[in-house]
Amino acid sequence: MCVYTYAYGCVCVCVCIYVYTKKNIVHTPKQYTIGAFYSVLQYGIVLDAGSSHTALFIYKWRADKQNGTGIVTQHSECHVKGGGISSYAGEHGGAARSLEPCLDQAARDVPKDRHSSTPVYLGATAGMRLLQLSSPQQSAQILQEVEQKLRSYPFDFKGAAILSGEDEGAFGWVTVNYLLENFIKYSFVGRWLSPGRGTVGALDFGGASTQITFATKEPVEKRKGGVNLRLYGQHYSLYTHSFLCYGRDQVLKRILARLIQAQGTSGTITHPCYPAGHSQKVSLNSIFSSPCTSASPGPQADPQAELTIRGTGHYQHCLGNVTQMFSFNTCSFSRCSFDGVFQPNVTGSFMAFSAFFYTHSFLQEVTGVSVTTPSQLEDLLLVAPEQKSRLQDYCASAVFMQVLMLRGYGFDEKSFPQVSFQKKAGGTSVGWALGYMLTLSNLLPAESPVLRKALTLGAWGPSCSCLPCSLLLHCCQRQRSTVQQTDLHFNIIKHILEPT
């Protein structure tokens, strides 16, 4: 019976498709070849100049659908070797030269006949925000040198700027919901439709800052915390906040700074967040040169002095040190996250990316593995060989993530399973870069686009045999959530540091 029903459904759907496309057929000129299709692609380039590194992303879309109706996808990406552009402070031309290999690759990846029409943007985030605080002249010099370098390439240079933390959070939210098709979706009948589902919040954990952004119906009590967007005819009220100095790299420095200030600058410093037996040397200058750790290690301390950091692997002590970085007792609003910052209650689903994803992946990879000796640490290097230089920091960043998400942002047993940890969505890297380009390139209209023409019969033909199967499955099964629910068990961290 099921076979006959299935076959009958296939025939009915194919007949409906044929009738519909017969009435709405759009004849394609014979000269419209495959090569011509690719010639109408438009490209855009965004350089994400983060605190720890710079990444270049190339996006593409149909050039005849620029008014918000083109589907933008990632074409390619390139990761600049070395640190972020802020790390070249005091090194004349260093930041600009570091970008050359990726810009050269972009010149190869984008067709030459599209170079002059390809916009290129550079957005610098928390690393440059910190440098702007400590040395405005050096940050301005780096931006000027980078701009000159970008102008020397055959693209359409649009600007190089330092993003505010709130902009970074909002653009990340736009990226997440654009990739998940929460704003608008292109249907199989050739129309742009509103999916009719809620949006997803964005959690970004960078090297020098962390951002939380989500739609809320609650009034935003702080002046800079609210963002109002109108996209595709829909109004979105967002809460967003960026916590400077709460990014992964700066958090690790702040933990070390607290331990050094408590234990002194002579002898060995014990670190409860490092696995027992782990040892490394650090210079005082590498820790206390950041605006996030501006407090002096001591009047007699030599900035060039090296200290030995030895891990003790004590979860409770690690948790205590990390928790002390937050202030949960001061709040002049109806509700705060931490450090006196207003935040509404978290609602709905969230996507966590950047260092959130990498830390979560690390916890998954080492589930059930205890790290108590250097030899066991070496065993874990086989699991994550690309993270060799930073493996010892994952326990500290995981404990920080625990405090940030559970006590800081207020996720609980009900809301935490709604958080998805992802690096990419639909083949596109998740971050603020895509949202930045979509906004600046006017690819996100305020009003909903008009209905589009149906696809040609030729376009329907090859998919006719597959479409009924999908439709029947859709009718027989409940729609699955786009965001995969991931449950992170933070007690794994304790077992890593303190084996039973």
Which residues participate in the annotated binding site? 207-211
Write the CA distances from 279 to 153, 374, 377, 397, 494, integer angstroms.
45, 9, 12, 18, 20
**CA-CA distance, 85 to 94, in Å (whole number)?**
8
Instruction: Kindly name the residue from 77, 145, 166, 168 that is annotated as catalytic.
Output: 168
Binding site, annotated residues for ATP: 207-211
Using CB atoms within 10 A of its CB, is residue 489 exposed (0-12), middle (13-18) or buried (19+)?
exposed
The single-letter DSSP state of residue 403 is: I
Q: Note whether 115 and 107 are within 8 A (CB).
A: yes
Task: Identify whether the C-beta of residue 25 lies closer than 8 Å to the C-beta of residue 10.
Answer: no
| Bridge partners, residue 230, by sequence | 235
List of E strands, 156-248: 156-162, 185-186, 192-193, 201-205, 209-215, 226-231, 234-244
Secondary structure (3-state) at 342: strand
- The structure tokens listed for 37 are 């299709």
Q: Is 168 a catalytic residue?
A: yes
Report the amino acid identity of residue 383: V
User: CA-to-CA distance for 338 and 115, rounded, in angstroms?
Assistant: 46
CA proximity to 209, closest of 425, 437, 52, 330: 52
Tell me which residues are annotated as active site.
168
